[in-house]
Amino acid sequence: MPAHPLAGELIQALRRRGGGRVLDFGSGMGRNAETLKGAGFDVLAIEDGAAEGADALAEVDVGDAPFDGVLSTHALLHGTPQSVRERVVAIARVLSGEACFFATFASTRDARYGRGEQVAEATFAPLDGDERGVPHVYFDEARLRAIIAPYFRVASLDESAADTIAGTWAHPTSPLRAAVHWMLCAVRTDARVV
């Protein structure tokens, strides 16, 4: 299975900076971590279950070697607006200055927005399928930028069709139809993280 397109973009960005240490936050089946390792980077992969809580990063000791890049193609699609905000803050804490942050977030233009059980603001859990009961949080551009802006400078933020990117391997019994994700490429700023 191919790596997420953001993995390739992160590799290019990090090579321009001279390499570095990378965090794959919400590593899933490991497709991105393997691609990043194959490109010669030192990679720490945190699995999806652990990535669902910001406390997964609280236990990561960066010491004198904070991460130069983070890729998250799954972990920030799930949860609530508050839990995603907490994860973004936790990610900012483990990054070096000017580090790359490449991630996906669900868009309110996604066909699944508003379907299933509403569990929080703009958050819905499907009633059936592969992700039955898993809360998905959806963002419009303004709400997403409000979460990102205190800690990151946005280089690009684009909405993309995600059906083929996620692939049937991730959704074997109910393939995605008209899924839309935000693709974020951002850079860590000097703003203090509280």
pLDDT digits (tens, 9 = 90+) for 72-130: 998 999 999 999 999 999 999 999 888 999 999 999 999 999 999 999 999 999 999 88
Residue 44 in any domain: the answer is yes
Residue 179 in any domain: the answer is no
Asked if 112 and 126 touch (Cβ cutoff 8 Å), the reply is: yes
Tell whether 55 and 112 lie within a shared domain: no
How many other CB atoms are found less than 10 A from the CB of residue 44? 16
Of 9, 34, 62, which residue is a domain's last? 62
Tell whether 58 and 5 lie within a shared domain: yes
Highest mean pLDDT among 14-28, 52-66, 69-83, 160-174: 69-83
Tell whether 56 and 3 lie within a shared domain: yes
Residue 136 in any domain: the answer is yes
Residue 177 in any domain: the answer is no
The CB-based long-range contact list for 125-134 (8 Å cut-off, 24+ gap) reads 128/174, 129/171, 129/173, 129/174, 130/170, 130/171, 130/172, 130/173, 130/174, 131/171, 134/78
pLDDT over threshold 90, residue 48 = no
pLDDT over threshold 70, residue 171 = no
Residue 113 in any domain: the answer is yes
Of 62, 83, 115, which residue is a domain's last? 62
Structure tokens at 41: 């980077």
pLDDT over threshold 60, residue 139 = yes
Give me the phi and psi of 177, to 5 degrees please: -135, 120
pTM to 2 decimals? 0.91
Domain ranges, residue 46: 1-62
pLDDT over threshold 80, residue 54 = no
pLDDT averaged over every residue in the chain: 88
pLDDT at 183: 96
Rounded Cα–Cα distance for residues 98 and 68 (Å)? 8
Task: Please report, rounded to a whole number, the percentage of residues in the chain having pLDDT higher than 90.
Answer: 66
Identify which of 85, 32, 74 has the alpha carbon closest to the alpha carbon of residue 49.
Answer: 74
How many domains are there within the chain? Answer: 2
pLDDT over threshold 70, residue 177 = yes
pLDDT at 113: 97
Burial of 8 (0-12, 13-18, 19+ CB in 10 A): middle
